[in-house]
Homo-oligomer: A and B are copies of this chain.
Amino acid sequence: MISGVYCAAATPVRADLSPDLPAFTAHCHWLLEEGCTGIALLGTTGEANSFSSAERKTILEAALNSGIAGERLMPGTGVANIPETVDLTRHALASGVSRVVMLPPFYYKGVSDEGLFAAYARSIEAIGDNRLRVVLYHIPQVSGIALSHDLIERLVTAFPGIVVGIKDSAGQLDNMTAMVARFPGFAVLAGADPLLLPLVQAGGAGSITATSNLVARDLATVFRGATDPTQAEAVEQAQARINAFRTLSNSYVQIPTIKAMVGFQHGNPGWDRTRPPLVALTAAERADLKTRLAAIGGTVRGE
């Protein structure tokens, strides 16, 4: 069963907006040193859908070539169309990566569970590889597509041992704990940092979050100590720090704010850049963020 603290890693880009692979892999190594179980690269925070299929493959290959083991990587491979979802997933498998986070097709809205089941089923059948492990991705506020529990039940029944978990980024703990109760052995991963603790205490598997780009060490402390009363104080302190970083990351548009904070951490202002349609923080926003980051104990290097 997939469990632990995964980072929805942000993706740095160069001035020409091409992926900055050395900065990316350095960040991934730092995240693992900080205590991440693994890297959920190429997700929403990673701006995956702003990169072409070819670029996505290059980013995954760079992580592998930098020496990160395939079992510690969990790339997003779900795009709006099935053939490219299949192609990206097959590329991951051929590269030694069996765990993927798979968005449903997200262009059409209001589609039926039958249509979503067909999309996942056709993708999985076309991938045709028993090593595959699919983490579903529920982020309706961005994708516009909600994954119902009835749909999940159909998928885990049709593809046992293959459809093994879900990243739930909708922010409702009740939805996560209901899945924990209904689907034994199915890994429910919180997409929101403050929910890691209560979710793990309720039998959830861990988290895949954006703030872990900054506070992976604290999230690992929470994960390890969540059900250990002797760790209560350490967990509480870590949770307070996580919450402070998360609150700060929502001061402006979240993904550019997180990228700027990662840039302060690594002393590399190039991290500020985003691909359109996301926009980098303004100079004023960045200055304000810097002050407030230092005030909560964040690292500000090379400024």
List residues of chain A with CB under 8 Å of any chain B CB: 17, 44, 49-55, 79-84, 87, 104-109, 111-112, 114-116, 118-119, 122, 141-144, 253, 275-279
Q: Which B residues lie within 8 Å of A81 (CB)?
A: 49-52, 275
Distance of A144 Cα from B84 Cα, bound (Å): 22
A276 and B82 within 8 A (CB):
yes
Knowing A109-B141, A109-B144 are in contact, say whether A52-B277 is a contact too (CB < 8 A). Answer: no
Residue of B nearest to A106 (CB): B107
A17 surroundings in chain B (CB, below 8 A)? 82, 122
12 contacts between A and B (CB under 8 A): A44-B108, A49-B80, A52-B83, A53-B53, A82-B275, A105-B276, A108-B277, A109-B144, A111-B277, A111-B279, A115-B277, A119-B277
Taking a contact as CB atoms under 8 Å apart, the answer to whether B107 and A50 are in contact is: yes
Question: How far does the alpha carbon of A49 sit from the alpha carbon of B143 in the complex, in Å?
Answer: 14
* Besides A17-B122, A52-B81, 7 new A-B residue pairs in contact (Cβ under 8 A), listed by A number: A55-B83, A80-B80, A104-B277, A105-B276, A108-B278, A111-B279, A112-B277
State whether A142 and B107 are in contact (beta carbons under 8 Å apart), knowing that A51-B83, A53-B84, A81-B51 are contacts in the complex: yes
- A55 contacts which chain B residues (CB < 8 A)? 83
Q: Which residues of B contact A50 (CB under 8 A)?
A: 80-82, 105, 107
How many copies are assembled? 2
Cross-chain contact B276 with A118 (CB below 8 angstroms): yes
Chain B CB within 10 Å — which of A50, A55, A108 has the most? Answer: A108
Question: Distance (Å) between the CB of A116 and the closest chain B CB?
Answer: 5
Provide the residues of chain B in CB contact with A49, threshold 8 Å. 80-81, 105, 107-108
* Residue of B whose beta carbon sits closest to that of A84: B52
A156 to B68, CA, bound (A): 47
User: Using Cβ atoms and an 8 Å threshold, which residues of chain B touch A141?
Assistant: 109
Q: How far is the CB of A61 from chain B (nearest CB, A)?
A: 17
Q: Are A277 and B116 in contact (CB under 8 A)?
A: yes
Query: In the complex where A49-B80, A51-B81, A55-B83 touch, is A107 in contact with B279 (Cβ < 8 A)?
Result: no
A115 touches B51 (CB 8 A): no
Query: In the bound complex, how far is the Cα of B56 from the Cα of A53, in angstroms?
Result: 15
- Which residue of chain B has the shortest Cβ distance to A145 in the bound complex? B277
Q: Count chain B CB atoms within 10 A of each CB in A17, A109, A253, A275 and give the residue with the most.
A: A275
A52-B81, A80-B49, A81-B52 known; A142+B277 contact, CB < 8 A: no
The complex places the Cα of A50 from the Cα of B123 at a distance, in Å, of: 12
Q: Give Cα distance in the complex from A144 to B51, angstroms.
A: 19
User: In the complex, A114→B163 CA distance in Å?
Assistant: 39
The CB with the most chain B CB atoms within 10 A, among A79, A82, A107, A112, is that of: A107
Q: Which residues of B contact A53 (CB under 8 A)?
A: 53, 84
A49–B52 Cα distance when bound, in Å, is 14
